[in-house]
Amino acid sequence: MGGQYRLTLADGTKVWLNASSSITYPTIFSGDSRQVKITGEAYFEVAHNAALPFTVVSNGQQVKVLGTHFNVNAYADESATITTLLKGSVKVSADANTCILKPGQQASLAAIGHNNIKVTDADTDAAVAWKEGYFQFNQADVYQVMRQLARWYDIKVIYKNQSSTRKFQGAIQRDLRFSQVLRILEKSNMHFTVTGKEVTVMD
């Protein structure tokens, strides 16, 4: 099963890391800024320090803050890097494009192109459900669902039908066994076969 980790940086900033995620940071922040790099997904509660801006670098974008609470989903196998703001203010930049988020908004940067940053209203509960111990699906397709499960349970997924249009809504606890999660999904008329660490989605 995948791990979820929490750490506190030297400046007092709290970071939660989702499964299959990593963070690179200095032991002590020096100079005129605080910069970290992430892969995967992380939630930040940044310690306020107006003199030392805090910057998160991921997948061709930078998120710059002073003190705030926000989530960055930057998994390499997702179609976009999504930054969701819960509290405070952040500036999201990619190349020459920049936007300022307000609480309750999210910025989406396409994985291919890295050109336009799209700002929309966010489902903040869904964005940080992982931090609270849930898989949250809001009209998610089967591929979005299985990517989350693959990271958390460290499994390989094969699709028998590559054109499924099935959508999922709701939440599932992340402390369940994988077999229990599959039984829940099977109530939506999905079918699976499991061989070791490999699961085949039949329809």
Q: What is the pLDDT of residue 111?
A: 77
| 20 shares a domain with 115 | yes
| 108 shares a domain with 35 | yes
Where is pLDDT greater, at 145 or 67?
A: 145
- The torsion angle over the Cα atoms of residues 110, 169, 159 and 76, rounded to 10 degrees, is 30
| 141 shares a domain with 59 | no
| 104 shares a domain with 182 | no
The CATH number assigned to the domain holding 161 equals: 3.55.50.30
Question: Domain range holding 13?
Answer: 5-126
Of 72-86, 105-119, 183-197, which range is least confident? Answer: 105-119
| 102 shares a domain with 62 | yes
| 165 shares a domain with 194 | yes
| 169 shares a domain with 95 | no
Residue 97 corresponds to which amino acid? N
What share of the chain in percent tops pLDDT 70? 98
Q: What is the pLDDT of residue 190?
A: 85
| 84 shares a domain with 151 | no
Minimal CA–CA distance to 67: which of 82, 84, 87?
Answer: 87
The CATH number assigned to the domain holding 55 equals: 2.60.120.1440
Residue 165 has pLDDT above 90, yes or no: no
- Provide the mean pLDDT of the chain: 91
**pLDDT tens-place string over residues 16-66:** 999 999 999 999 998 888 999 999 999 999 999 988 999 999 988 999 998
Q: What is the pLDDT of residue 113?
A: 66
Residue 1 has pLDDT above 60, yes or no: no
Q: What is the pLDDT of residue 80?
A: 92
* 2: confidence class by pLDDT, cuts 50, 70, 90: low
Q: What is the pLDDT of residue 114?
A: 59
Query: Mean per-residue pLDDT for 149-172?
Result: 89
- Tell me the DSSP string of 119-155: EEE--HHHHTGGGGTEEEEEEEEHHHHHHHHHHHHT-
